[in-house]
Amino acid sequence: MSNHITVEVAYALPNEQVIIPVSVAPETTTEAAIIASKILSKYPEINLEVNKIGLFGKLTKLDKPLRHLDRVEIYRPLIADPKEVRRQRAADGKITKRVLAS
């Protein structure tokens, strides 16, 4: 049995996506895999105290042990609150319907 597993560390910007494969020891934490990937030096705006992280789209913690072929995702902060955007769209739709009905 191998003494290393392969995991991926992923980060996406609006115009760029990077996925870095990393060979780490079994049970390595998400934080250790991120550090091993050296992604923090390439993207200094990543702050692990601020940015949320996940495994395959599900939020997780920095101390989560990884398994072979896991993908650690580093999320950027939201620019707009999705609930507020939906609320605004709904309000705009009501205005449009009122104008059309007149």
To the nearest 10°, report the CA torsion of 38, 39, 41, 42.
130
- Cα distance between residue 11 and residue 53, in whole Å: 10
Give this prediction's pTM: 0.74
Which fold is adopted by the domain 5-101? Ubiquitin-like (UB roll) (3.10.20)
pLDDT digits (tens, 9 = 90+) for 36-68: 999 999 999 999 999 999 999 999 999 999 999
Task: List the beta strands (DSSP E) in the chain.
Answer: 5-13, 16-24, 53-55, 58-60, 71-74
**Across the strands, what pairs with 14?**
none
- Cα distance between residue 62 and residue 73, in whole Å: 11
pLDDT digits (tens, 9 = 90+) for 26-37: 999 999 999 999
Residue 11 has pLDDT above 60, yes or no: yes
Q: What is the pLDDT of residue 98?
A: 54
